[in-house]
Amino acid sequence: MGNDELWQRYQDWLYYHEGLDLYLDVSRMRFDDALVEELEPKFEKAFRDMEELEAGAIANPDEDRMVGHYWLRDPDRAPAELREEIVNTLSDIEDFARRIREGDITSPTGDRFTDILSIGIGGSALGPEFVSEALAADSPPMEIHFIDNTDPAGIDRTLNRLKAKDRLKSTLVIVTSKSGGTPETRNGMLEVHNFYDKEGLPFPRHAVAITVPGSKMDELERVEGWLAEFPMFDWVGGRTSEMSAVGLLSASLLGIDIRSLLEGAKEMDEATRVPDVKRNPAALLALAWYYAGNGKGEKDMVILPYKDSLLLFSRYLQQLVMESLGKEKDLDGNIVHQGIAVYGNKGSTDQHAYVQQLREGVPNFFATFIEVLEDRSAEWFEQNSYQLEVESDATSGDFLSGFLQGTRQALYENGRDSITITISQVNPRTVGALIALYERAVGFYASLVNINAYHQPGVEAGKKAAASVIDLQRKILETLRNTGQSDLTTLAERADAAEEIETVYKIVRHLAANQRVRLEGDRANPSRLQVSI
Ligand SMILES: O=P(O)(O)OC[C@H]1O[C@](O)(CO)[C@@H](O)[C@@H]1O
């Protein structure tokens, strides 16, 4: 296609939202009118599905749940019985955050809380991590740290860094788990609790819980008398919970304007209710994704924000897209192995990592550029008038923009598709809008390919498998205590795990590395190893 045709295609398919000052350009996705026509009936169903979802239908049939993340930013759309709790939770969050920031609520030593330690995983971490990286000021009212894994060394490093700065006594610990039982989060909470106990600091007076009422963590919070608790709702999925207490509490504590975040999301929601593909940005994204992967995820989604502060958007989208769309069965029970793989970090940095392969290598992807027009913050321009020219008539921001345009063009010329989303600046409204845009696009795409976007059965399988390894480990240790030293094969037999001898070997090797058992013999011949406690 020549430049004139491309310019015409750009204009024909350009979506512009005036209120949000947001552009969506799908012109470099080479779908044709025939596909748009073919998908028309599927989109009509997708629009109907979405309307029913927002009206309170059981849109997550596998878990018999409603899907209500859109209600978080527009409570009037929620079923009447839910509205009050949504509104009250938001004002409770704002009130608590204000009292913490103003020193009305202090730590047990009377110190103002200076730091937030957020313990959570998946949707209970990725949203807060993305939003704090994107929106926290250069010198925010509080510093935030994350424990989002059950890695003892990672937990120790975070705690030791806080201790080294004498900040433990002024740290607010937010433990977030919708289910209240996720092992990684439970482990992180117990490790931090233990560390505080050893430091002689009363953990409960530092701790805040965000969980579904009645969960194990809710029970613990009540028994131990934690500082506060905020509810999670069962009709909000983890990967769509940024606009609930999961994301709003830490954002508010960081001084981020959460009302703008919600407003941006609400404004995008209104835009993505329009039942017309060409006038609906989320439908345009779903169309582009369907075209790129032939409705089967045949191409990966590479997320390339040309803005440092949006670095974690791709990690956030990995869960939102892949945990929603990566499903073995469709809604009719057919085996479909659906999904779209997501990766990326930021431009232009990634041009010095993997863009070489994008430009010339295996064409198994489509790129999504995120362009931010303003090179620096509004505050910067209030204090500065002159930007450094790194070359005549060129600033570093011009180079960033040039790299985006150049990479988009270089990819297109070599037959690689891309989408470009353009916003004026990274602020709570535009971040809220981006989150809402992708939440809706995932929902539309799921309808197009007839899957449930709102459950995660595969993760349960992993959780069960992990639990069985831990159970086997207990049997191994009990066996060793009762029978003393034994070779690996005999140990496996005595632990009724002869069929899982490799797992037994992996367990004892890990235990030995952590001084829990002794392993003697030739490591290259594991079956003859002698194991003892
Ligand atoms: O908030 P919870 O219940 O601890 O779950 C954490 C994460 O684990 C999952 O349930 C499975 O990955 C996610 O959907 C969720 O965000």
433: exposed, middle or buried (Cβ count in 10 Å: 0-12, 13-18, 19+): buried
Q: Is 239 in the pocket of ligand 1 (CB under 6 A)?
A: yes
Q: 248 CA distance to ligand 1 centroid (A)?
A: 17
Tokens 């809706």 belong to residue: 440
Q: Provide φ and ψ at 144, rounded to 5°.
A: -120, 140
pLDDT of residue 315: 98
SS3 category, 416: coil
| Among the listed residues 205, 209, 210, 211, the one whose alpha carbon sits nearest the alpha carbon of residue 225 | 205
CA–CA dist 224, 222 (Å, integer): 6
Cα separation of 184 and 195, whole Å? 16
Looking at ligand 1, which atom is closest to the CA of residue 120? 4
Task: Give the model confidence (pLDDT) of 38-58 as tens digits.
Answer: 999 999 999 999 999 999 999
Mean pLDDT of the chain: 97
In this model, does residue 143 exceed pLDDT 90?
yes
- Is residue 378 predicted with pLDDT exceeding 90? no
Residues 6+ apart with CB under 8 A from 133: 309, 311, 312
The minimum-distance atom of ligand 1 relative to the CA of 241 is 16
The single-letter DSSP state of residue 177 is -
The β-bridge relationship of strands 418-423 and 22-25 is antiparallel
Mean pLDDT, range 315-324, rounded to an integer: 98
- Nearest atom (ligand 1) to Cα of 123: 16
| Index of the ligand 1 atom closest to the CA of residue 126 | 16
Does position 333 have pLDDT exceeding 90, yes or no?
yes
Which residues are catalytically annotated?
A: 323, 352, 463
Q: What is the pLDDT of residues 166-218, one digit of tens each?
A: 999 999 999 999 999 999 999 999 999 999 999 999 999 999 999 999 999 99
The three-class DSSP label of residue 394 is strand
CA–centroid distance, residue 383 to ligand 1 (Å): 43
Residue in 456, 460, 463 to alter for ligand 1 test, most ligand atoms within 8 A of Cβ: 456
Q: Is the CB of 318 under 6 A from ligand 1?
A: no
Look at residue 217 in the predicted model and tell me its pLDDT.
95
Tens-digit pLDDT profile for residues 391-437: 999 999 999 999 999 999 999 999 999 999 999 999 999 999 999 99
Does ipTM surpass 0.95 in this model? yes
pLDDT value, residue 532: 96
pLDDT classification of 112: cutoffs 50, 70, 90 = very high
Q: Is 530 exposed, middle or buried (0-12, 13-18, 19+ CB in 10 A)?
A: middle
Q: What pLDDT digit, counting tens, does each position of 236-288 carry?
A: 999 999 999 999 999 999 999 999 999 999 999 999 999 999 999 999 999 99
What is the rounded CA–CA span in Å between residue 199 and residue 168?
9
Per-position DSSP letters for 293-347, written without gaps between them: HTTTT-SEEEEEESSGGGTTHHHHHIIIIIIHH--SB-TTS-B------EE---T
Whether residue 435 contacts residue 38, with contact meaning beta carbons closer than 8 Å, is answered with no
| Whole-angstrom distance, CA of residue 516 vs CA of residue 533 | 7
Q: Which amino acid is at 45?
A: K
Are 390 and 440 within 8 A, CB to CB? no
Residue entry with tokens 């424990």: 147
Q: Residue type for 447, please?
A: S
Confidence at residue 483, expressed as pLDDT on a 0 to 100 scale: 92
Task: List Cβ neighbours of 255 (8 Å cut-off, separation of 6 or more).
Answer: 101, 136, 137, 140, 141, 142
Separation of 324 CA from ligand 1 center, angstroms?
12
186 CB within 6 A, ligand 1: no
62 CA distance to ligand 1 middle (Å)? 16
Task: Return the pLDDT at 453.
Answer: 98
**In the chain, what's the furthest Cα-to-Cα distance?**
81
pLDDT given at position 199: 98
Q: Please indicate whether residue 185, judged by its CB atom, sits closer than 6 Å to ligand 1.
A: yes
**Residue 28, pLDDT above cutoff 90:** yes
- Lowest-confidence pick of 159-163, 380-384, 473-477: 380-384
Ligand 1 within 6 A of CB of 451: no
Q: How does residue 1 score in pLDDT terms, banded at 50, 70 and 90?
A: confident
What letter does residue 421 receive in the DSSP assignment? Answer: E
The residue ranges of DSSP E strands in 73-159, in sequence order, are: 115-119, 143-147
Ligand 1 pocket member 150 (CB < 6 A): no
| Residue 377's pLDDT band (cuts 50, 70, 90) | confident
Cα 181 to middle of ligand 1, angstroms: 9
Would you say residue 222 has pLDDT above 90?
yes
| Nearest residue by C-alpha to atom 9 in ligand 1 | 122
CA-CA distance, 266 to 246, in Å (whole number)?
18
Mean pLDDT across 106-125:
97
Residue nearest to atom 14 of ligand 1 (CA): 238
pTM of the predicted structure, to 2 decimals: 0.97
Strands in 518-520's sheet, in edge-to-edge order, are: 486-487, 530-532, 518-520
Distance CA 416, CA 117 (A): 42
121 CA: nearest ligand 1 atom:
6
319: CA distance to ligand 1 center in Å?
10
Expressed in angstroms and rounded, the spacing between residue 315 Cα and the centre of ligand 1 is: 15
DSSP code of residue 370: E
Strand partners, 207: 173
Q: Which residues contact 490 (CB under 8 A, 6 or more apart)?
A: none
Q: Is the CB of 456 under 6 A from ligand 1?
A: yes
The tens digit of pLDDT for each residue in 83-105 reads 999 999 999 999 999 999 999 99
